[in-house]
C-alpha cells in the first residue's frame, strides 16, 4: 500500500510529501519535469524502485509545486530553482530532517545540485541520475535544445497534451518499453495526473531557463553522477559530472532515461553502495515453482450493478474462498491487487487443482474468474518473487477467457498422468515474453 500523504507549507503553497522506510539514512528524492510520486505506487517498476531505496533509508518523496498533489501555480508564475529549494527545505523541516542525502533525477538534478552547493550543511551526499547543467543549446554548450525544438515542444504540449505526445516522448526517453502497451498506458496516465497541459508547458519553459554550469565547481559534498550510456541525456550527464570536483561518474548499460526502467538494480546497487558504503548482495534463492494469477471477469461492471456495499460484501466472500483454497492446496499468497491474486505452489498439480476448486466455488457466488498458470524458475527475495516465469504467468492469465483455467505447456507436461484433461488453445505470442507459447485450458470435465 502507498504511504500516507502529508503537506508542508512553503509560504502560502502546500507541498505534498510522503515518508517511506525507517533506515538510518535520510534520503530525499527529487523527481524530474512533470513526474509525481503518487502515480508511481500504481506502476510496478516505480513502486519497486521506491521500495528498494526505502530498504536502506528513510525515503522522502515530494511533489514540486505545480505538479502532482502539491498546489498548482498560475502558468505565468513560474517557480524558480530557488523557490523549489525553499519547498524542499520546508518538507525537510516538516519531517524533522536536519541533513539528508539528495537524489535528483533528470530536471530535478539541477535543483539538487544547487541545493547541495547552497546548503552543504544540510546535504549529506548528492546523487544525480540523467541530469544536465543546462537545458538550452549555446555556442559553448552544443548539447541542449535549440529554440526551435523548445517552441515545437511547447506547441505540442499546449495543443496536444495527449497519449500520442506522451508516447512519442517515451519512445525517446524510455525505449525499452516501446512495445509494452501496458507500461506505456500507465506512464501516460501518470503524466496526466501529474500536470495539466498549461502546467506542463509552463514547467517546460521553467526547465528551459536552467543553467547551473557556474555553480558546479562550488559543490563540495560527496557526489555520484549516473547515466545509461545510450540514453538521450548521456552527454549532458558526462558534462555535469566532469565539472564537479571529486565527483564519481558511473556509466551503466542501457538506453532508458528513467532509472526505474531497464536494469534498475544496477543503478540502485551503485546508489546504495555510494550512500551506505556497502554494496548490496541480496540473498536470492532460485527455485522451481508454479505461479497462479487470478482475476474476476467484468468486475467493474459488476461493481456498478451491485453498488459499493453489495460489491464489497461479494468481494470479501470471494477473497475468503480464494484464501481458503490456497491454504487447502498449500499455496502461498504473495499479493492481492484489486480483485486478483498472485500465489505460488511447490507443485503444478496442486496449483491446477486449487484453480479448479476456486473456479467452481466462485461460480456458486455468481462470479466468473480467469486463471493463468506457469511453472518456471523464480528468484525469491524476501516476500517478493521475480523472473520471467512471473511475467509469463501474468501474460497467460491475460489470454484466459471467463471461467477458464489456462496453463502453459510446461504445466500440462508436468501434470501428465494426473488424470487432468486439457483442451488445446493453440500457439500465442505473450507480450514481453520471447518466443511462441502453446497454451492449454483445463477441461471442465
C-alpha to C-alpha distance for 235 and 237, rounded to whole angstroms:
5
C-alpha to C-alpha distance for 47 and 180, rounded to whole angstroms:
18
Alpha helices in 215-298 (DSSP H): 234-242, 264-276
Mean pLDDT of the region 35-40: 92
pLDDT of 382 > 70? The answer is: no
C-alpha to C-alpha distance for 177 and 72, rounded to whole angstroms:
30
CATH architecture classification, 6-276: 3-Layer(aba) Sandwich (3.40)
Structure confidence at residue 358 (pLDDT): 95
C-alpha to C-alpha distance for 395 and 431, rounded to whole angstroms:
7
pLDDT in tens, 245-276: 999 999 999 999 999 998 999 999 999 999 99
Structure confidence at residue 91 (pLDDT): 97
pLDDT in tens, 165-214: 888 888 999 999 988 888 899 999 999 898 888 888 888 988 899 999 99
pLDDT of 70 > 60? The answer is: yes
The cell for 11 is: 509560504
pLDDT in tens, 385-428: 888 899 999 999 999 999 999 999 999 999 988 888 999 999 99
Paired residues of 145 in beta bridges: 136
Going by CATH, does the domain composed of 285-442 fall within 3.40.190.10? no
**How confident is the prediction for the chain on average, in pLDDT?**
91
Structure confidence at residue 264 (pLDDT): 92
Structure confidence at residue 407 (pLDDT): 97
C-alpha to C-alpha distance for 2 and 51, rounded to whole angstroms:
10
From the list 370, 322, 378, 372, the residue with the least C-alpha distance to 346 is: 378
Cβ within 8 Å of residue 277, ≥6 positions away: none
Distances (CA, A) of 116 to 219, 221, 231, 330: 6, 7, 25, 52
Confidence band (pLDDT; 50, 70, 90) for 282?
low
Distances (CA, A) of 102 to 15, 61, 67: 17, 11, 19
Structure confidence at residue 413 (pLDDT): 92
Comparing 106 with 308, the larger pLDDT belongs to 106
Percent of the chain with pLDDT over 90: 68
**Percent helix, strand, coil in the chain (nearest 5)?**
45, 25, 30
pLDDT in tens, 329-362: 999 998 887 789 999 999 899 999 999 999 999 9
Q: How many C-beta atoms lie closer than 10 Å to residue 276's C-beta?
A: 15
What's the burial of 425, exposed, middle or buried (CB within 10 Å: 0-12/13-18/19+)? Answer: middle
pLDDT of 283 > 60? The answer is: no
**115 alpha carbon, distance to own chain's centre:** 26
C-alpha to C-alpha distance for 407 and 45, rounded to whole angstroms:
26
In the chain, where does the domain assigned CATH 3.30.70.1230 lie?
A: 285-442
In the chain, where does the domain assigned CATH 3.40.50.1820 lie?
A: 6-276
Structure confidence at residue 285 (pLDDT): 67
Mean pLDDT of the region 150-166: 87
Mean pLDDT of the region 81-103: 95
Amino acid at each position: 500500500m502507498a504511504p500516507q500523504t502529508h503537506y508542508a507549507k512553503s509560504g502560502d503553497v502546500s507541498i505534498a510529501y510522503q515518508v517511506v522506510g525507517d533506515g538510518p539514512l535520510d534520503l530525499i528524492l527529487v523527481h524530474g519535469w512533470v513526474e509525481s510520486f503518487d502515480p508511481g505506487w500504481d506502476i510496478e517498476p516505480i513502486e519497486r524502485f521506491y521500495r528498494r531505496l526505502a530498504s536502506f533509508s528513510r525515503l522522502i518523496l515530494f511533489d514540486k509545486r505545480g505538479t502532482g498533489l502539491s498546489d498548482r501555480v498560475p502558468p505565468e508564475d513560474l517557480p524558480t530553482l530557488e523557490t523549489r529549494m525553499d519547498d524542499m527545505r520546508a518538507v525537510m523541516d516538516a519531517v524533522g530532517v536536519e541533513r539528508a542525502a539528495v537524489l535528483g533525477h533528470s530536471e530535478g538534478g539541477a535543483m539538487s545540485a544547487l541545493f547541495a552547493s547552497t546548503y552543504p550543511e544540510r546535504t549529506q551526499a548528492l546523487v544525480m541520475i540523467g541530469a544536465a547543467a543546462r537545458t538550452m543549446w549555446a555556442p559553448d554548450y552544443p548539447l541542449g535544445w535549440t529554440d526551435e525544438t523548445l517552441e515545437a515542444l511547447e506547441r505540442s504540449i499546449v495543443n496536444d497534451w495527449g497519449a500520442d505526445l506522451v508516447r512519442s516522448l517515451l519512445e525517446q526517453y524510455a525505449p525499452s518499453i516501446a512495445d509494452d502497451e501496458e507500461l506505456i498506458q500507465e506512464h501516460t496516465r501518470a503524466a496526466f495526473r501529474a500536470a495539466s497541459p498549461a502546467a506542463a508547458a509552463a514547467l517546460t519553459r521553467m526547465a528551459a531557463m536552467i543553467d547551473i554550469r557556474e555553480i558546479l565547481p562550488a559543490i563540495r559534498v560527496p557526489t555520484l553522477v549516473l547515466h545509461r550510456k545510450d540514453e538521450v541525456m548521456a552527454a549532458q550527464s558526462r558534462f555535469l559530472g566532469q565539472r564537479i570536483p571529486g565527483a564519481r561518474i558511473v556509466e551503466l548499460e542501457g538506453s532508458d532515461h528513467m532509472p526505474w526502467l531497464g536494469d534498475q538494480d544496477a543503478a540502485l546497487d551503485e546508489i546504495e553502495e555510494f550512500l551506505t558504503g556497502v554494496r548490496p548482495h541480496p540473498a536470492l534463492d532460485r527455485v522451481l515453482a508454479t505461479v497462479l494469477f487470478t482475476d474476476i471477469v467484468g468486475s467493474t461492471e459488476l461493481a456498478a450493478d451491485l453498488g459499493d456495499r453489495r460489491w464489497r460484501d461479494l468481494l470479501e466472500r470471494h477473497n475468503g474462498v480464494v484464501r481458503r483454497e490456497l491454504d487447502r492446496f498449500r499455496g502461498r499468497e504473495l499479493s492481492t491487487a484489486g480483485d486478483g491474486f498472485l500465489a505460488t505452489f511447490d507443485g503444478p498439480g496442486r496449483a491446477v487443482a486449487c484453480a479448479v476448486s476456486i473456479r467452481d466455488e466462485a461460480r456458486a457466488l455468481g462470479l466468473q474468474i480467469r486463471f493463468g498458470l506457469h511453472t518456471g524458475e523464480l528468484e525469491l527475495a524476501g516476500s517478493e518473487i521475480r523472473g520471467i516465469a512471473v511475467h509469463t504467468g501474468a501474460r497467460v492469465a491475460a489470454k484466459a477467457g471467463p471461467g477458464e483455467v489456462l496453463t502453459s505447456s510446461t504445466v500440462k507436461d508436468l501434470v501428465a498422468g494426473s488424470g487432468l484433461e486439457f483442451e488445446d488453445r493453440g500457439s500465442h505470442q505473450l507480450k514481453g515474453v520471447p518466443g511462441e507459447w502453446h497454451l492449454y485450458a483445463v477441461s471442465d470435465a
